[in-house]
Amino acid sequence: MKIKFWTRKVMHTFIQNWKILSGYYKFRWVQIGTFIIISLIFLTKNVDFSLHLNAPEEAIEMKENEIAKTLENKKETLPPATTKEQAAQKEKYFGSLFNEIPPHLMRHLPSQADTNLANTFSNLGFMLNPNLAKKLKVSPKVVALKQKKCDDYIATFAPIAIKEMKKYGIPASVTLAQGLLESNVGDSKLATRNNNHFGIKCFSKNCKHGHCTNYTDDSHKDFFRKYKNSLESYQEHGKFLQKPRYQSLKKYSSTDYRNWAHGLRKAGYATDKKYAPKLIKIIESLNLQRFDS
């Protein structure tokens, strides 16, 4: 009821006021005044509209000036095009010829980001499975870094493996494959902290200080040998395979890497059932048999 009352009252007031305004509009001066007010409003809108039409050009000009100033400031604050580390890396890859390479080709060099990403993958994964990089959508630069790491490891330890082959008859390819696999191409904790590239354990009951350290292996803790350097680790590997349990392998020649790989697995060198196929895959993928004789 109250709503209807107030609605009627509002309508009544509006009608009364409209009648009063209509009465005033009959006067000439009211009509002239209304015309002047409407004209002023129209002229103001027209000016405003013209200003807005010109605004985009002014805004573009202002934006261009801002961009120019920003670029000038960036020129002053940009770091050198290449850091000392990048320069050293480029010099290592290309030598003195690097300075002749056009700047637009420099982006193909592995960046620090690529190096960091490479650290998240196994060093041998892409070598053993060529389709893995494509499957994981990994940059070719990362794969190249892994390949280079393997090549550097082989170049470093191949002479030692050949020397041990001549001394004990162990194929150099097998020694290198074991070193690559057991040490994750020299990056494992055992390799970096103990110089132990072959996962050789310590079975001595009276160890001297620094002779071995404790690490987890196959879900339980074991003591692993610690060496002064990587050379000693490779030399110890040759001696280690002279134990009675490995004597059956001597019937194979130093070029028969396949039987050596399977023989090591059967003799209990590793608990991994796929140990022999992995060694063979590493040897053939990296062409390590070229060191055998």
pLDDT band at 282 (very low <50, low <70, confident <90, very high): very high
Q: Which residue has the higher pLDDT, 186 or 36?
A: 186
Identify the pLDDT of residue 261.
97
State the pLDDT confidence band at 98, using cuts at 50, 70 and 90: very low
Q: Looking at domain 125-198+229-291, which CATH architecture does it have?
A: Orthogonal Bundle (1.10)
Model pLDDT, residue 48: 47
Q: Are 188 and 160 in contact (CB under 8 A)?
A: no
Percent helix, strand and coil across the chain, each to the nearest 5: 70, 5, 25
Q: How confident is the model at residue 83 (pLDDT cuts 50, 70, 90)?
A: low
Instruction: Mean pLDDT check: name the lowest of 109-113, 146-150, 223-227, 244-248.
Output: 109-113
β-pair partners for 216: 221
What's the chain's average pLDDT? 75
155-188 exposure pattern, b = at least 16 Cβ within 10 A, e = fewer: eebbebbbbbbeeeebbbbbbbbbbbbbbbbbeb
Give the per-residue pLDDT at 78.
Answer: 41
User: At residue 198, does pLDDT exceed 80?
Assistant: yes
Does the pLDDT value for residue 156 go beyond 70? Answer: yes
Mean pLDDT confidence for 175-183 = 95
pTM over 0.85: no
Highest mean pLDDT, choosing among 1-10, 127-136, 271-280 = 271-280
- pLDDT per residue as tens digits for the range 23-67: 655 666 666 777 787 777 666 655 444 444 444 455 545 555 665
Q: Choose between 109 and 212: higher pLDDT.
A: 212
**pLDDT for position 143:** 87
pLDDT band, very low/low/confident/very high, at 232 (cuts 50, 70, 90): very high
148 has a pLDDT exceeding 80: yes
**Residue 280: per-residue pLDDT:** 96
Asked whether residue 74 carries a pLDDT value surpassing 70, the answer given is no
What's the pLDDT score for residue 61?
Answer: 56
Give the separation between CA 287 and CA 253, rounded to whole angstroms. Answer: 18
Cβ count near 97 (within 10 Å)? 10
Instruction: Give the residue-averaged pLDDT of 273-291.
Output: 95
User: What confidence score (pLDDT) does residue 37 get?
Assistant: 76
β-strands 220-225, 212-217 pairing: antiparallel
CA–CA dist 204, 226 (Å, integer): 13
> What pLDDT is attached to residue 4?
61
Selected residue with higher pLDDT from 123 and 104: 123
Domain ranges of the chain: 125-198+229-291
